[in-house]
A and B are shown apart, each in its own frame.
Chain A
């Protein structure tokens, strides 16, 4: 993996759409905004936690911005007015940390491991991870530039599957879409994505997957205008309640 440089990341941020609402620290009226930038795979559990956070904090709106972890890290480094950053791997969090954009030590709050998803009904009769090796099976995975891609590559090697994916999607949602549309017989996605996809896909385990999960880290952002609220959000994510919501969404515990 080649290192992502801070300056380069800044341009990456400029090239990517900026997040709605992340440009404002506090709204025009007297309501307070807490801006949370989170990896796209956290969409479902963080949406739910945001509702609970708002319910317990009068006058606070939680604004959530979801994107790829590297994009978000780059935005935070560039000084995007955010309060909390949650990434899907340690590498991207380290970029923000090394640039001094985070406050305190980032905390690992969840893990995510890869599973095989097949379209509902499993039309290609994919029964195991080893079936990806079959000639008549078309499967897709993430490109290695994404954390899910390096994980997938690692697991394919560990399980001695030499057949290559038909397509290297740039993010895990694109992998899921290809499977949901039945364009691919199988795909390698995070367990949390498989849960979020519901009935449209069926899930198969990947041997050795739990040995190399992806860690999710969260940290308050240095330039946060609401450091106390940011700390409370981190607390909520690390709490038992947070653990519960992440569990339901298919995430593993912070230590596998």
Chain B
């Protein structure tokens, strides 16, 4: 360790850094302090809460898998294949990152709603998406996919293309290079992208409540349950938030090896 070998860090950097940590941690600590620990287990064991937790977990996982299936090929195309309009595509797929989630929800309604561009023909076939868990997964995928694509594209770009060339010289076709070289080498980045996307799904609120609605057991995910409870019973909302916080910490622990581990190297 080269601990302070270059001299003491200056106060004008230490102070804002400390404030940044305080800004991020004080609210979280207050949330924990405010938690109704006496009734915590009882509250969390309530069927509505368990429903919301289960729904959140499986829809986020489904969205993660959808991101993998759809997003990995897209990230690969963006990172490895030159085609006209590539930078435009890259910009467009990241738009949902800056879109207010509620607007994302409205956009999803105009596409997959009962009278939407895709939704109306689907309705003819007897399929309606809003107010279903499918809608939750679509909303989650919509917001998580850009995270995944950006993160994986970055990972692919960081992985040397030299190996792709070596594989080509050795006779591997493009698909085989993707499967046997590119993906294994970018695997840590892909895993990080999956975790990021999953975490994003788990915290998703605006698009879900707008597009999928809010009904316990069907479309009421943890954040929706927290928001609903917030209207009347803050302690219950805090209890649920604690669960979300716990899940975030676990996710970060999973990412630790990759992010903090690499930074320390």
Residues on A facing B (Cβ under 8 Å):
1-2, 4-5, 8-9, 11-12, 15, 68, 70, 138, 140, 143, 145-146, 164-170, 174, 177-178, 181-184
Contact = CB atoms under 8 A, between A and B. Distances in A.
Given A11-B238, A168-B228, A183-B131, 4 more contacts: A2-B236, A167-B215, A170-B214, A174-B209
A25 to B, nearest CB: 28
B227 interface: yes
Contacts of B131: 138, 140, 166-167, 183-184
Contacts of A15: 230
27 contacts: A2-B233, A5-B235, A11-B34, A12-B230, A12-B234, A140-B213, A143-B228, A145-B232, A164-B215, A166-B131, A166-B213, A167-B212, A167-B214, A167-B215, A168-B215, A168-B216, A168-B220, A168-B228, A169-B209, A169-B213, A169-B214, A170-B228, A178-B213, A182-B114, A182-B115, A183-B115, A183-B130
B233 A4 contact: yes
B232 to A, nearest CB: 4
B199 interface: no
B231 A167 contact: no
B104 interface: no
Interface in B186-243: 209-210, 212-216, 219-220, 227-236, 238
A142 B213 CA distance: 11
Most buried by A among B34, B227, B230: B230
B101 interface: no
Contacts of B231: 68, 70, 143, 145-146, 170
Interface of B: 34, 109, 113-115, 128, 130-131, 209-210, 212-216, 219-220, 227-236, 238
Contacts of B233: 2, 4, 8, 145
Which residue among B219, B231, B233 has the maximum number of chain A CB atoms within 10 Å of its CB? B231
Given A138-B131, A183-B113, A8 B235 contact: yes
A30 to B, nearest CB: 37
A100 B228 CA distance: 27
B218 to A, nearest CB: 8
A1 B113 contact: no
A143 B214 CA distance: 8
Contacts of B235: 5, 8
A88 B109 CA distance: 30
Contacts of B219: 167
Nearest to A143: B228
Nearest to A168: B214
B232 A4 contact: yes
Contacts of A5: 234-235
B235 to A, nearest CB: 6
Contacts of B113: 181-183
B215 A165 contact: yes
A68 B229 CA distance: 14
B234 A167 contact: no
B126 to A, nearest CB: 12
A12 B238 CA distance: 10
Nearest to B131: A166
Nearest to B115: A182
B209 A170 contact: yes
Closest 10 CB pairs of A and B: A167-B213, A8-B234, A145-B231, A145-B232, A166-B131, A2-B233, A183-B130, A182-B115, A143-B228, A167-B215
B230 to A, nearest CB: 6
A138 B218 CA distance: 14
Given A70-B231, A168-B216, A183 B109 contact: yes
Of A11, A140, A146, A178, most buried by chain B (CB within 10 Å of CB) is A11
Contacts of A70: 231-232
Contacts of B34: 11
Nearest to A71: B231
Contacts of A184: 131
A154 to B, nearest CB: 16
Nearest to A138: B131
B240 to A, nearest CB: 13
Nearest to B215: A167
